Amino acid sequence: FIAATQPSTNWHLKENARDHRTSKFSSKELIVRRGQAFTVTFNGTGQPEQNLTFIAETGPKPSKLAKTQATFGISSTMSTESWSAILQSTSSNSVSISISSPPNAVIGRYKLSVQTTSSGSSSPAILGTFVLLFNPWSSGDDVFLPNTAECEEYVLEEFGIIFAGTKNHINSFGWNFGQFQGDILNICLSMLDRSLNYRQDPATDVSHRNDPKYLGRVLSAMVNANDDQGVLLGNWSGNYEGGKSPNSWTGSGEILQNWKKSGFKPVRYGQCWVFAAVLTTVCYMKLHIPEILCLGIPTRTITNFSSAHDADGNLRVDEFYDASGNHLDRSADSIWNFHVWNESWFSRSDLGPSYSGWQVLDATPQEESGGIYQCGPASRNAIKEGDVDLDYDCPFVFAEVNADCMYWNYEATTGKKTLMFSKSTVIGQFISTKAVGRDDRVDVTTDYKYEEGSTKERDVFKKARKKLGLEDKFDPTAPTPQEIDQKPDISGRFKVAGPLEVGKDLSLILVLENLQSDAKTVHVNMTAWSTVYTRRPVHEIRKDSISATLSPKEEIQLPIKILYTEYQQQLTTDNMIQVTALCHVEGGIQVLVQRDITLDNPAIDIQVLGEAKVNKEVDVEVIFTNPIDMELMNCVLQVQVQEMPSSCY
């Protein structure tokens, strides 16, 4: 039947790509989605329905037991449970076949062969290779997403918006996920071959590639470089010598290409939003990547403001301050101004249908999980309900959005620590993602937890502690009930009284209110530090002491101005300043007042001059106004131009 050992194969690239929503691929290789039929034509004659057997195989050691090899003949109907083929048409020298994979097939590059079975001895003829992806449009697939608009956004969108800043000042920036950029195929294949799982047991690793939760976990480890020479090396020091500031990246493509060019040495440097953006690219990459990393898993970035890093797993974050109000590095716990992770959409057959849907993945290397730096997938539904005993890493993610905060005063001379106050409503604010089809912010906080301070939210918190065995566990560092029940005599807050822009003076007002019916004398030690977004102090900017007496129930306002010349040389690339006022009340307990401030960079105005046409030069005017009273030298303008394949025009 088969005309040659190497038949001529027509993969019907245009038609199949249209049907499988892979039309924007610039690859000449067939790329299709599992659980959906595709057509292939090859040269041959005879009665194919009686004597043809197809072999589809993937991985280094294909086997039927591992579901990395399938053998199937021509049948009258397509199967929804296994690989199958239906005869479409025949001619004097060719035959067209429709082939379908099961919705739970292993993802990756397949070799397709055909064998004439009537002779019983002929060797299989290789028809060629094709790539199989997850299929979020198929109801039988683990990654099925019923909302078509969300599929377009979370699988096919190449540009995104990432939110950052502080809970008081949320800003955003664009990110180019880079699916259209060249050479991403080889880069991602190399990433796959360098995963610890593949190096330890390639055949087993490939056999698990039908499972999105397995792949999500592997990739959350591979995007960071801590254990496996992965893509990105993290740096939160504020000093980025020997690499690039994380703030300078604008897209994933340059990072992945730099990784390859360096001989797969970790790219320097990344922080949480960079890790999350690269993981997004890898998860839903749809162009140039005919392998497992071209996943097709619906994925989006999530920003959590006032995000807890609970290092000791007790669902509590401890922060220490000295008598001057300086933040002390005495705990591995921390509260980040914001933290960015990923959500990927897939079912959880290991947990049950109530835990399916959005799953949290985090490639930022914070704490080890299973002995390496990886995090998730943690069911978002499990986080909201306090089911922290479920796989994977639910306690850590739960603490990120709902830990309790303990603020301590520490005396270095005596080693004594005193609880100033505790709060259960600080962590997990304005949890944000990009709107579908728009550049707006959508708040998803209530998808992670019940209303802050409500009885339901507190019940879930107690449930989580009980599941972790923390209810009855003795903790010598825990505050006493008497300390927790202490009530302050005054309250305080910082108000912003001017623009929050780099190059401008920073004007604040410290508002203090006497809560008692007798006068209170307050001694205020105020500090201002430049920080990175994890709130780690970098440079001291200002230190002041103020004393005031407040009449009964009186509110006073103390103006504070930090000149640009004071913070100019101290500011990090994160443009963040933490202002702290430690208020010592005579005869009462101390009160800590904090404000984390993000300064906006001066605006850049971009205007297209004239009409923009395909394959024609276009003039663009970039307008920038120097905001300070001095000459700027050696300025650099970063421009990223997105390259679009001809199929997109």
Known active-site residue 309: no
On whether the CB atoms of residues 158 and 177 are closer than 8 A, the answer is yes
**Token digits for 113?**
């062969």
The Cα 402–Cα 457 span in angstroms is 9
446 CB contacts (<8 Å, ≥6 apart)?
none
Task: Give the three-class secondary structure for 479.
Answer: coil
Partner residues linked to 148 by β-bridges: none
On whether the CB atoms of residues 139 and 80 are closer than 8 A, the answer is no
Annotated catalytic residue: which of 339, 375, 387, 393?
A: 339
The Cα 79–Cα 574 span in angstroms is 55
Annotated catalytic residue: which of 272, 394, 405, 583?
A: 272
Known active-site residue 439: no
User: What phi, psi does 433 have (nearest 5°)?
Assistant: -150, 165
Annotated binding site for Ca(2+): 402, 404, 452, 457
**Number of neighbouring beta carbons within 10 Å of residue 158:** 21
Nearest 10 degrees: Cα torsion 465, 445, 485, 583: 130
The closest of 251, 180, 151, 205 to 649, measured between CA atoms, is 180
Strand order, beta sheet including 416-423: 327-328, 316-321, 404-411, 416-423
Torsion 218-224-229-232 (CA) sign: positive
The Cα 489–Cα 484 span in angstroms is 15
The Cα 308–Cα 330 span in angstroms is 16
Annotated binding site: 402, 404, 452, 457
The Cα 606–Cα 386 span in angstroms is 47
Q: How many residues would you count in the chain?
A: 649
Residue 227: Cβ-neighbour burial (10 angstroms; 0-12, 13-18, 19+): middle
Known active-site residue 339: yes
49 CB contacts (<8 Å, ≥6 apart)?
74, 87
Within 93-183, residue ranges assigned H as helices are: 148-151
Annotated catalytic residue: which of 318, 362, 387, 393?
A: 362
The closest of 288, 272, 365 to 574, measured between CA atoms, is 272
Give the rounded distance of the alpha carbon of 581 from its chain centre.
Answer: 34
Q: Which amino acid is at 148?
A: T
On whether the CB atoms of residues 109 and 193 are closer than 8 A, the answer is no
Task: Give the three-class secondary structure for 483.
Answer: helix
3-state SS, one letter per residue, for 397-408: HHHHHHCEEEEE
The closest of 367, 360, 269 to 309, measured between CA atoms, is 367
For the chain, how far is it from start to end, CA to CA, in angstroms? Answer: 42
The Cα 219–Cα 503 span in angstroms is 41
On whether the CB atoms of residues 448 and 380 are closer than 8 A, the answer is yes
450 CB contacts (<8 Å, ≥6 apart)?
384, 456, 457, 460
State the pairing for strand pair 327-328/316-321: antiparallel
Q: Which amino acid is at 633?
A: M
**Token digits for 597?**
């401030």
3-state SS, one letter per residue, for 412-437: CCCCEEEEEEEECCCCCEEEEEECCC
The Cα 344–Cα 361 span in angstroms is 7
Q: Write out the catalytic residue numbers.
A: 272, 339, 362
